Copies of this chain bind each other. A is one copy, B any other.
Amino acid sequence: MTEQEFSHLDPGGRLRMVDVSTKESTRRVALASCLVTTGADPRATPRPDPGSDAIVTARLAGIQAAKRTSDIIPLCHPLALSHVSVDVTAHPRGYEVTAAVVCDGRTGVEMEALTACSFAALTLLSHLFEGNTGARIEDLALDRKSGGNSGDWGRNVHDDG
């Protein structure tokens, strides 16, 4: 990708929603993840069980947010997403949240996957805060993407703990 083909800045340096109308429509996939950590000694903190209502709520909040990404992130394009899934699993320091988004379209779904993760994690936080205001979200990042001119990309996912 060169700045000439795809950029948030017009020649005058001002932000715009870039013109993707001449880009090819391809299958786009993006995966993102983050941690929700409980701060103090996690063994001592009451936390929702991965199968509980609180976790289902978090996963659904992430799915709903993915569909509204362009509504909230100013320069994102409205996209007809074809798949969104969000998972929440136990992690030694709290929970790991992962999101996968698929779309056939002219621009990537990286921001949609990050938005899904972010809102699932915020929803989890809203539950944890009842007992522990020190809970936090860490390490929200893109894990993998494929499709589009810029090709495939992946990071080594976090394995701390």
Residues of A within 8 A of B (CB): 1, 3, 6-10, 13-21, 27, 34, 52-54, 56-57, 59-61, 63-65, 67-68, 70-87, 102-106, 110-111, 114-115, 118-119, 122-123, 125-127, 129-130, 133-142, 145, 153, 155
Contacts and interface: CB of A to CB of B under 8 A. Distances in A.
Contact of A126 (B7, B111, B118): B111
A87 B16 CA distance: 9
Contacts of A105: 80
A140 B142 contact: no
Nearest to A88: B14
A78 B70 CA distance: 12
B72 A19 contact: no
10 contacts: A6-B130, A15-B54, A18-B83, A20-B82, A64-B64, A67-B71, A75-B126, A78-B79, A111-B125, A115-B122
A77 B81 CA distance: 7
